[in-house]
Amino acid sequence: MITFDHIVIRSAEFDDAEGLWGLYDPGKPRTFQLGPNLELRTPTVDELTALLDDPERKLGEFYIVEDLEGLVLGCAVMRSASGDSPYGEALFAFFDESLYATPAADETFAFVRKQAFAIKKHRKLIAHCLDTEPAYREFLMRHGYRSNGVQRELIYAGGNYHDLESLSLFPETA
Amino acid sequence: MNITPPPTRLRRPERTDIATLVDWMRDPELVQMILGDHTAAIRQFRGQILSILTGGYGPAMANTGHYLVENCDGVSMGMAAFTKTSWRNRSAHYDVYVPEHLATPDCLRAAYDLTIRFGFDELNLHRVTVRVSGKATAVHATLLDLGAQREAVLRGYTIHNDGPEDLFVFGVLRRDCAGVREP
């Protein structure tokens, strides 16, 4: 558990599943929900519990972001992009999208950046962003991410196709 | 002068194709395509080849398929791999391998055209994604000519002996591709 000025970050436990389940809203597609095949997934609470309890950590390193009173604001996930690749993928998800513009989100980002570049020595951190997430995109760009381009109509959700933007962050620009 | 007719069909590999596949195994480009890493161990690669020979889109909802690209004389001219197929998004990534000595502009164009049309006409996809090394400029031109759009450049995506290499992402939507069957 690490305490910042506005938030507390800790590793996720299996009993966080019920609290996090609200982030998997099928009516509100977000990058956080994308699985390995780039399909939006909506696990049940039991499935999410099993994933968080998995010793192999298939979901990646999963961190819970709380405010100083212990209210869960969202989460951050970091994982290797594929196998032993020299770069990682970071995901940030907050229940309230307006939080992306607050110091709470900035402190979450600073924590993940340190993990990625100072501790894991990744060469690059990538992120993805759906066309339904303007606040998330603004948050990533504000922290030095640069767009690699937009893949058109890649994700199907809620009866529509959505574009997926790829972004990357190098240590020298972070 | 190369007088080999260009590819005209895709088919699933059979056990009788093993000699061709073993011959191609020496090419790092094919190893890169199958395993995503040209330095992968040969034993791992052999295992993957065997699974290709016994796999394909056999199971109804499999998300990977490998096909031989063949010309009208029955000469194997390369391989097409569909990976990361999402039946929900109706999209797939694909890679096409054509051995260097057969990779004339006509052959490359025919191989990619066949593969793209297979994705739309047979697999009923909405979108096909092709990821190509930044150095493969002949393939870039072929894809643009076939209606694909260059959508993203992933900087420093792979590491080769001579350092980081960019990966170009091309996307083809069904509506970009003239003459495909209506869904």
User: Span B128-136, mean pLDDT?
Assistant: 89
pLDDT above 70 as % of chain A: 95
Q: Across all residues in chain A, what is the average pLDDT?
A: 90
pLDDT at position B118, please?
92
pLDDT above 90 as % of chain A: 61
- At A114, which CATH number? 3.40.630.30
Yes or no, beta carbons of A154 and B173 under 8 Å apart: no
Does any domain span residue A109? yes
Q: What is the pLDDT of residues B25-79, one digit of tens each?
A: 878 777 777 766 555 566 666 677 777 776 655 555 667 888 999 988 888 889 9
B183 touches chain A (CB under 8 A): no
Q: Which domain holds residue B149?
A: 7-176
pLDDT above 90 for A74 = yes
pLDDT at position B15, please?
84
User: Span A47-70, mean pLDDT?
Assistant: 86
B91 touches chain A (CB under 8 A): yes
How many CB pairs below 8 Å do chains A and B form together? 68
Number of domains chain B is built from: 1
Q: Which domain holds residue A56?
A: 2-123
Does any domain span residue A26? yes
pLDDT above 70 as % of chain B: 83
User: Pick from B173, B170, B90, B85: which is nearest to B130 by CA?
Assistant: B170
Number of domains chain A is built from: 1
pLDDT at position A128, please?
95
User: Pick from B36, B157, B160, B135: which is nearest to A124 by CA?
Assistant: B157
User: Pick from A103, A111, A127, A106: which is nearest to A30 by CA?
Assistant: A127
Does any domain span residue A166? no
Does any domain span residue A64? yes
B32 touches chain A (CB under 8 A): no
Q: What is the pLDDT of residues B2-35, one digit of tens each?
A: 567 888 899 988 888 888 888 888 787 777 777 6
Does any domain span residue A160? no
pLDDT at position A85, please?
62
pLDDT at position A93, please?
95
Q: Interhelix angle for B42-53 vs B28-35, to 10°?
A: 70
pLDDT above 90 as % of chain B: 33
- Residue A36: band (very low, low, confident or very high) from pLDDT cuts 50, 70, 90: confident
∠A76-A81-A87 over CA atoms, to 5°? Answer: 95
Provide the phi-psi class of A77: left if phi over 0, else alpha when psi is between -120 and 50, else beta. Answer: beta
Instruction: Look up the ipTM and state it.
Output: 0.85
- At B144, which CATH number? 3.40.630.30
Yes or no, beta carbons of A166 and B152 under 8 Å apart: yes
The chain A residues in contact with chain B (CB within 8 A) are 36-40, 82-83, 86-87, 123-124, 126, 148-156, 161, 166, 168, 170
Does any domain span residue A72? yes
Does any domain span residue A172? no
Yes or no, beta carbons of A149 and B151 under 8 Å apart: yes
Q: What is the pTM of this model?
A: 0.88
Yes or no, beta carbons of B154 and A154 under 8 Å apart: no
Does any domain span residue A151? no
